[in-house]
Amino acid sequence: MRNRRQPAGAARVAVVASLLLLAPTACGGSDDPDGDPGASTSPASPTTPASPTDDPSPTSTVAPATGIKVDTSRFSFRAPEGFENRPISGELIGSVVDLIPDDTIFFSIYEDYRISTLGEMAQAYLNATSYEILPKRMPDTVIDGRPVFHLSGPVNDRSHADAYGLMVDGAGVNITFDLHSDPARRQEIIESTLATLRWK
């Protein structure tokens, strides 16, 4: 049973930490490291997510972020101005935080993750969370030319999460925006950051 009163910061760290523990067994096998998102289904959503489309929204409405750069072995991105680096476990689990509104971008890399579909990866993420409310499975999208799963929705009475994930060179990668700001600011943070995200 999930702890419905767990502090927001502890819940967010628990998500990525639990994913690292679940990584070797959470997902089944597939020959395609990016999965087959069009064929996947997820119990988190009442309908099968649409096939991934090259959604222009992450880059079309705001300028790319120009703040601190996160650079790992599997990806890099820039956070918006005002975010500060908050390492958790080397490059495997990390975050950047805007302390005043308590907006956080979490990221995790889990090595030796069994190759899986995006649907299986999304479900493994949901299974590992300690959020009070589970985000919903959205249509898969494309970021920097590669299909990714997308989860989105309120996760408690004051926080909204958007999570994206895929396989990169044999490792599972998740990037989660856990934001308290108003909807317009949330969208700006997500779009400006994703506009700078590059897979390696």
Given this model, what pLDDT does residue 159 score? Answer: 96
Statement: 8-40+83-199 belongs to CATH 2.60.40: no
Q: Name the H helices within 61-170.
A: 118-128
Mean of pLDDT values over 159-184: 96
pTM of the model: 0.74
Cα–Cα distance measured from residue 105 to residue 83, given in angstroms and rounded to the nearest whole number: 9
Q: Span 166-182, mean pLDDT?
A: 96
The pLDDT assigned to 109 comes to 96
Arithmetic mean of pLDDT over the chain: 79
Look at residue 60 in the predicted model and tell me its pLDDT. 55
Q: What is the mean pLDDT of residues 87-110?
A: 93
Highest mean pLDDT, choosing among 10-14, 26-30, 36-40, 135-139: 135-139
B/e letters for 12-50, b = 16+ CB within 10 Å, e = fewer, are bbbbbbbbbebbeebbeeeeebbbebeebebebbeeebe
Which segment of 7-21, 30-44, 81-95, 162-176 scores lowest on mean pLDDT?
30-44
Nearest 5°: the CA angle 76, 78, 82 is: 145
pLDDT of 185 over the 90 cut = yes
Q: What is residue 100's predicted lDDT score, i.e. its pLDDT? A: 94
Dihedral angle, C-alpha 43, 46, 51, 54, nearest 10 °: -100
Q: How does DSSP classify residue 53? A: B
Regarding predicted confidence, which is higher, 28 or 131? 131
Q: For residue 15, is pLDDT > 80?
A: no
The DSSP letter of residue 38 is: G
Confidence of residue 14 (pLDDT cuts 50, 70, 90): very low
pLDDT at 46: 34
Residue 145: count other Cβ atoms within 10 Å of its Cβ: 8
How many angstroms separate the first and last alpha carbons of the chain? 37
Q: Is the pLDDT of residue 5 over 90?
A: no
For the segment 114-140, the average pLDDT, to the nearest whole number, is 94
